[in-house]
Amino acid sequence: KRGSDYWTEYYVGEDNPDVTITNYINLDMAGVNWPGGGGAPHGDPDPAIDEDGYPKDAEVWPMRVYIGPGPNHDRLDQPEMVGLSNWIGSDALGLEEQMGTLVGTNYSADTWKTSVWLDMDRPEIIVYEDTTARSDHASFQDNLDVVTIGFGGLVDGYWCYHQVCDTLEEMEAWMDTTGKDYGEENTGVANLVNSLDMITWWALMTFFHCDEKPVLNSLV
């Protein structure tokens, strides 16, 4: 079993049932996203729109704040965590002009994330509930009914995603916006530092809030 699956199902669920886990916060492959963008480096194919995948195109690679469990694509199942994420991003971090919340009301369940993103004019930071949980998110949601939040970047389209070529040098190359007709002109180092600083503070403030006032699963 995956470590988190064993820990949630057996160590907590069976051996320590008196322990309540309220929230899970995850930073996963979050190095390539906004404020990077504007095209892939050194001849790599540009990320392309994938209707049934994560929102992105050749130019905009959104920073993703994904929340669950959210089995219904057409409404918010965890409005408190979505609201907290929007508040931290827009108020504490001052990112209100870049942010958009994706909800698939009146959109197809298969393509809603990308369709809503395009109709919202491609916000560079997106908050949404993911109807399918992967890896550790699934363990905490399925075994303990925990509200999870993750911070991620470009997945499909970043050719070093979970590969040995996913090095600091590679991320800096992807995040470089010098000479590109996109965003502010900054080196890859500067954009990567700004991105990881933003994500780290966002996750830390989420932790502080959840430690003081846990955000419980509204579906339970």
Q: At what angle do helices 188-212 and 168-175 cross, to 10 degrees?
A: 100
Q: Which 8-state DSSP code applies to residue 95?
A: -
Give the domain ranges of the chain: 21-212
pTM over 0.75: yes
Question: For residue range 133-169, what is the model confidence (pLDDT) as tens digits?
Answer: 878 899 999 999 999 999 999 988 998 988 999 999 9
Give the 3-state secondary structure of residue 87.
Answer: helix
CB 171, CB 31: distance < 8 Å: yes
> What is the mean predicted confidence (pLDDT) over 193-219?
97
Angle CA 96–39–33, to nearest 5: 40
